[in-house]
Amino acid sequence: MSDIEKVQCLIIGSGPAGYTAAIYAARANLSPVLYTGMEMGGQLTQTTEVENFPGYPKGIMGPAMMDEFRQQAENMGTDIRFGVATKVDFSGTLHKVWIDDTKEIHAESVILATGATAKRLGLESEQRLNGKGVSACAVCDGFFYRGKPVSIVGGGDTACEDALYLANLCPEVHMLVRRDELRASKVMQSRVLKNERIKIYWNTEAEEVLGDDEVEGLRIKNNKTNETQILTISGFFVAIGHTPNSSIFKPFIDTNNQGYVITKPKSTETNVKGVFACGDLQDDKYRQAVSAAGTGCMAALDAERYLGVLHEG
């Protein structure tokens, strides 16, 4: 028999969105309970220095920043626990969530902040040098490679946007495309093809990221000729998409064709009353820490209003 606990506000996820939601929910006396998920702190724990979040004029390491978010949420009164939501039932007014398949939570309101996971190539060297020159976010980390040659892999809109962003900072952007054409919109394709700093390698994949403690080069292979060559680069950006962590919610929560949770315009409300979504779980456009934090604030305010009406009734 599972252990059942009743809470006013349950927050699932512990990145900038989840922690910000917790801060606002705690200040509103909602007695929030937050479960961190497997990756406590979210994607920022996989990054090195963060320079683009307001309030940190000298920058801050991603893990340290998330630890400060956690401390602030705890200081406000959030009950933060390590655990993973493994099952949900949003069919009734009281929302049921199972943690680690054992503990059952009955929540009046639920804030979903489980984020999205960047897709990877699956190379051992990519994993080993992650955060040491390998990145899945050009906007987050491109600034560190200004004036240096970099490479990016991908052929969609995100890859093209990232390549153009990097071209404003770097003298050479080596763009690897698996096929013989880009999948991006015609406008984005045109911009990339016209940019003299971007060199496209068609039918090409990354074989190995080179370097011991930091990225020094990249071995690539042409799929048609089987020829390999080595590029001298300082940064390697993987832009092949993200997978929103929404799978357990899909039986009840509406998502788009990519799996991102759909929220109502100018709101974090989902199709289920009392369930709200914030951060990268519902944002397939900006995917920044600061925008995630903003939607976390919105989710807590939306939950506060919902609970106010619920209790009045």
Q: Say whether both 18 and 83 belong to one domain.
A: yes
141 as an active site residue: the answer is yes
Catalytic option among 3, 79, 137, 162: 137
Q: Say whether both 107 and 252 belong to one domain.
A: yes
* Kind and range of the H or E run holding 194: helix 186-194
Dihedral of the CA atoms 257, 263, 265, 267 (nearest 10)? -160
Q: Say whether both 17 and 31 belong to one domain.
A: yes
- Helix 157-167 crosses helix 186-194 at what angle (to 10 degrees)? 30
Say which residue, 213 or 285, is predicted with more confidence. 213
- The arithmetic mean of pLDDT across residues 164-184, rounded, is 96
Catalytic option among 3, 89, 101, 140: 140
- The arithmetic mean of pLDDT across residues 194-208, rounded, is 98
CA 161 – CA 139 distance, rounded (Å): 9
Domain-terminating residue out of 209, 238, 267: 238
| Residue-wise DSSP of 79-137 | EEE---EEEEE-SSSSEEEEETTTEEEEEEEEEE---EEE-----HHHHHTBTTTEES-
Residue 1 has pLDDT above 50, yes or no: no
| C-beta atoms surrounding 247 within 10 Å | 11
Q: Say whether both 61 and 35 belong to one domain.
A: yes
Say which residue, 140 or 74, is predicted with more confidence. 74
Cβ distance 175 to 147 under 8 Å?
Answer: no
Q: Say whether both 194 and 105 belong to one domain.
A: no
Residue 164 has pLDDT above 50, yes or no: yes
Residue 46 has pLDDT above 90, yes or no: no
Q: What is the DSSP letter of 147?
A: T
Catalytic option among 9, 67, 101, 141: 141
| Residue-wise DSSP of 30-98 | ---EEE--SSTTGGGGG-SEE-SSTT-TT-EEHHHHHHHHHHHHHHHT-EEE---EEEEE-SSSSEEEE
Average confidence score pLDDT of the chain: 94
Say which residue, 232 or 310, is predicted with more confidence. 232
Say which residue, 311 or 152, is predicted with more confidence. 152
Q: Say whether both 108 and 246 belong to one domain.
A: yes
Residue 75 is encoded by which pair of tokens? 């200081």
Domain-terminating residue out of 238, 264, 280: 238
How many structural domains is the chain composed of? 2
Cβ distance 291 to 53 under 8 Å?
Answer: no
Residue 100, sorted as left (phi over 0), alpha (psi -120 to 50) or beta, turns out to be left
Residue of 66, 68, 65, 76 whose CA lies nearest to 24? 76
Q: Say whether both 112 and 171 belong to one domain.
A: no
The whole-model pTM stands at 0.84
CA 282 – CA 116 distance, rounded (Å): 9
Residue 171: per-residue pLDDT: 97
Cβ distance 25 to 111 under 8 Å?
Answer: yes
Can you give the CATH number for the domain in which 269 is found? 3.50.50.60
Dihedral of the CA atoms 281, 282, 288, 292 (nearest 10)? -80
For residue 156, give its domain range.
120-238
- The arithmetic mean of pLDDT across residues 62-68, rounded, is 93
* Kind and range of the H or E run holding 11: strand 3-12
Helix (H, G, I), strand (E, B) or coil at 242: strand
CA 300 – CA 151 distance, rounded (Å): 39
Domain-terminating residue out of 198, 216, 238: 238
Q: Say whether both 216 and 144 belong to one domain.
A: yes
Q: Say whether both 176 and 85 belong to one domain.
A: no
Q: Say whether both 83 and 230 belong to one domain.
A: no
Say which residue, 38 or 256, is predicted with more confidence. 256
Q: Say whether both 300 and 162 belong to one domain.
A: no
CA 130 – CA 13 distance, rounded (Å): 22
Encode pLDDT of 82-135 as tens digits: 999 999 999 999 999 999 999 999 999 999 999 998 899 999 999 999 989 999
162 as an active site residue: the answer is no
Sign of CA dihedral 160, 146, 50, 45: positive
Encode pLDDT of 226-266 as tens digits: 999 999 999 999 999 889 999 999 999 999 999 999 999 99
Half-sphere exposure of 187 (CA within 13 A, CB side): 2
- The arithmetic mean of pLDDT across residues 18-31, rounded, is 98
- The arithmetic mean of pLDDT across residues 7-14, rounded, is 97
- Residues contacting 286, CB < 8 A, separation 6+: none
Residue 139: per-residue pLDDT: 86
CA 157 – CA 189 distance, rounded (Å): 8
3-state SS string for 244-267: ECCHHHCCCCCECCCCCECCCCCC
Q: Say whether both 73 and 171 belong to one domain.
A: no
